[in-house]
Homo-oligomer: A and B are copies of this chain.
Amino acid sequence: MAGFNKVVDTYEQAMAGLSDGMTVIAGGFGLCGIPEGLIEQIKQMKTKELTFVSNNCGVDDFGLGVLLQDKQIKKMISSYVGENAEFERQYLSGELEVELTPQGTLAEKMRAGGAGIPAFYTATGFGTPVAEGKEVKSFDGRNYILEESITGDFAIVRAWKADKIGNLVFRDTAMNFNPMAATAGKITVVEVEEIVEVGELQPTEIHTPGIYVNRIIKGQFEKRIERLTLAKN
């Protein structure tokens, strides 16, 4: 009897079922709070034609950027991309499709996807290229555009602590997009720094309730820093 034990032992088990053409929602902001081992596993699997929904696309040799080398990514839905040369090359040559989405709209699209809300109105992007082809409606004299939600076949998430039934806590600003990503995957896989006993996480301090989580794997993280900035003196 498995009950609610969601811990898996191998990365193969963690990403089992991922196949060509699927959509994957990934947590993380830049290189902060990304599920490093799950990304590496997708690289090993050589799955192709993937659509990634993620705020950024990593750098050349770290984060989602590593999936560009074998052309595993067909399309990125992101707010800010292009921190690496191979991305730029594939984008400019038309090999890689990019759907630029304002950061807050992207976060809300994921949240809405997980929350059964198919679309919402926002003022963000009205009158800009983002609004092209989208419905406009006025509320209290202001114009808003209709944005549709996003769900994924998989969501890949990095958390700090998880209990084996999938309750999650995130660490500092490594939280970022991870809680929304966790709600929006048909299969949500979480790579964590530490697996704790059930009951160790206080009920009101849990960021993501276990109901959203399907698989948990304990990872080892490099936690590369994108822009090291230090206090003067």
Contact = CB atoms under 8 A, between A and B. Distances in A.
Interface of A: 108, 112, 115-123, 137, 139-140, 142, 144, 148, 169-172, 175, 203-205, 207
Contacts of A123: 116
> Which secondary structure dominates where chain A touches chain B?
mixed
Contacts of A115: 108
A121 B137 CA distance: 13
A42 to B, nearest CB: 26
A204 B122 contact: no
B204 A204 contact: no
Contacts of A122: 116-117
Contact of A112 (B120, B142, B171): B120
Given A118-B140, A123-B116, A139-B118, A207 B207 contact: no
6 contacts: A108-B117, A116-B123, A118-B139, A119-B139, A120-B120, A172-B204
A171 B117 contact: no
Given A121-B117, A169-B204, A205-B205, A139 B148 contact: yes
Contact of A203 (B140, B172, B204): B172
Contact of A117 (B120, B175, B203): B120
